[in-house]
Amino acid sequence: MAKNLIAYYSRKGQNYVNGGIKNLAKGNTEVIAEFIQKAVGGDLFEIDTVKEYPIDYTECTNIAKEELRQKARPELKNYLASIDEYDTIYLGYPIWWAVQPMAVFTFLEHYDFSGKIIKPFCTHEGSGLGGSVSQIKKTCPTASVLNGLAIHGAEAAQSEKQVIQWAGKSF
């Protein structure tokens, strides 16, 4: 039986929402990850960094921009022992500077995705998937990277029906 992994990076706290800063108790990408789990089942895994980002949204984005410039690979708090038991990996992240956070690259480079199906999903405030899907394909050339789903962050809580439709598609 096929087994799903829903791995995601999400930012709670200060977020940019519809032109302003809003404090979120749960990050938008985490909300989408939970909708996917509800739709298709599987294990949730939060990609989280050892070094926490600043609470202040602007400070966080400045650090994220510098990490991107340096092609940094932030250390993660936890890793799965293996991804061998999973056939499909739903990979979620916010879009920061037109690509996924560098911590997602740390996650991707840690495992062998040969023969795996990766279904990317993101939350954003206007840039859609940005260049994230092409970066995943480049980072995991032996995986099958399928069409991604981009959800406007401000609409994450109301996107369950759309997420369920996408998550269940076999493409």
Q: Which residue from 122, 127, 105 is spatially nearest to 30, judged by alpha carbons?
A: 122
DSSP strand E in the chain: where? 4-8, 13-17, 20-24, 43-46, 88-94, 117-124, 144-145, 149-152
The rounded distance, in Å, linking the Cα atoms of 89 and 86 is 7
Q: How confident is the model at residue 131 (pLDDT cuts 50, 70, 90)?
A: very high
Which residue range forms the structural domain that includes residue 164?
A: 4-168
Q: Which residue from 1, 30, 5 is spatially nearest to 118, judged by alpha carbons?
A: 5
CB atoms < 10 A from the CB of 119, how many? Answer: 23
pTM of the model: 0.96
Q: Mean of the pLDDT values across residues 107-125?
A: 97
What are the tokens at 132? 């994230």
170, pLDDT greater than 70: no
The rounded distance, in Å, linking the Cα atoms of 148 and 76 is 24
| Domain tally, the chain | 1
The CATH number assigned to the domain holding 42 equals 3.40.50.360
The 10s digit of each residue's pLDDT in 22-42 is 999 999 999 999 999 999 999
